[in-house]
């Protein structure tokens, strides 16, 4: 699998690069001069309090949110504003949502094969084979014929990961993938993500799961008020945060857990 992911990159530059990205919601400066690079194989975890702009940042990378200025490039290509070019670039970026967003009228199998068949033009028999492998890997192969509503939240989220992987993305974005899950289902999703990280997948993860950040992140980014306040390795960030905001944030987490 590792070689699969790595064969995708066409350049040696960063897979994701944001330069001077700004976005406003009215008076709220939700992304304030964001500069960020994610290199191939890197796992970047974005932490921060609610409303700090971390989800918006994640969603801006495949343009589910527009930006006011700055540039975002995916593997050297500037993110187009709309149309076919944007759709093609999105096909290279896997996205996992907080609320799973599996296609409710399609079976688990169809959810995973839709992209490969309709976007990549893969034959159905081949797409089925690829999908089955991915479903086995995330541990829900025995549910392939069911509808999303018949699965638990944790299972649905693992299918969502398989659906994104089926497109053989250059980078995977996770927008709070465990925030809508019951506590006992969080680990099955995190384990899948840790497995991906170990295989060398490039990942950008917005999460509140500090355990995942410690275990799998190469780099932690701490955001507050639309700005990147601090970047460090997980060890450094959790043991020795530099900024007052990060200290405050981590302090609150510890008292709550």
Question: What is the contact surface with other proteins in residues (CB under 8 A)?
Answer: 62, 64, 82-84, 86-88, 90-95, 97, 99-105, 114-115, 118-119, 147-150, 160, 163-164, 167
From the centroid of its chain, how far is CA 63? 13
**Cα 47 from Cα 68, distance rounded (Å):** 23
Residue 239 Cβ, how far from other proteins at the closest point, in Å? 36
Pick between residue 86 and residue 194 the one whose CB is nearest to other proteins: 86
Residue 201 Cβ, how far from other proteins at the closest point, in Å? 16
Residue 163 Cβ, how far from other proteins at the closest point, in Å? 7
Residue 217 Cβ, how far from other proteins at the closest point, in Å? 23
DSSP string, 39-108: -TT-EEEEE--TTSSHHHHHHHTTTSS--SEEEEEETTEEPPSSHHHHHHHHHTEEEE-TT----TTS-H
Pick between residue 9 and residue 147 the one whose CB is nearest to other proteins: 147
> 225, 52 in Cβ contact below 8 A?
yes
Q: H/E element holding 190?
A: helix 183-198
DSSP string, 15-44: SEEEEEEEEEETTEEEEEEEEEEE-TT-EE
Pick between residue 66 and residue 233 the one whose CB is nearest to other proteins: 66
Pick between residue 9 and residue 114 the one whose CB is nearest to other proteins: 114
**Cα 98 from Cα 13, distance rounded (Å):** 29
Rg of the chain's alpha carbons, rounded to an integer?
18
Pick between residue 108 and residue 210 the one whose CB is nearest to other proteins: 108
Residue 59 Cβ, how far from other proteins at the closest point, in Å? 8
């Amino acid at each position: 699998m590792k070689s699969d992911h790595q064969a995708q990159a066409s350049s040696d530059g960063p897979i994701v690069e944001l330069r001077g990205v700004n976005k406003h919601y009215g008076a709220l400066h939700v992304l304030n001069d964001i500069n960020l690079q994610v290199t191939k194989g890197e796992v970047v975890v974005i932490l921060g309090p609610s409303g700090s702009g971390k989800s918006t940042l994640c969603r801006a990378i495949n343009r589910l949110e527009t930006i006011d200025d700055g540039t975002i490039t995916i593997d050297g290509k500037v993110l187009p504003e709309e149309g076919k070019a944007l759709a093609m670039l999105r096909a290279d970026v896997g996205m996992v949502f907080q609320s799973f967003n599996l296609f409710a009228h399609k079976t688990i199998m169809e959810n995973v094969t839709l992209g490969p068949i309709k976007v990549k033009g893969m034959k159905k028999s081949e797409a089925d084979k690829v999908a089955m492998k991915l479903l086995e890997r995330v541990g829900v192969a025995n549910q392939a014929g069911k509808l999303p509503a018949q699965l638990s939240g944790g299972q649905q989220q693992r299918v969502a990961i398989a659906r994104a992987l089926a497109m053989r993305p250059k980078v995977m974005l996770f927008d709070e993938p465990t925030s809508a899950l019951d506590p006992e289902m969080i680990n099955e999703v995190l384990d899948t993500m840790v497995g991906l990280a170990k295989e060398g997948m490039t990942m950008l993860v917005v999460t509140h799961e500090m355990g995942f950040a410690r275990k799998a992140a190469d780099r932690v980014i701490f955001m507050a008020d639309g700005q990147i306040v601090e970047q460090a390795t997980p060890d450094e960030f959790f043991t020795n945060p530099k900024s007052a905001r990060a200290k405050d944030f981590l302090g609150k987490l510890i008292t709550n857990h």
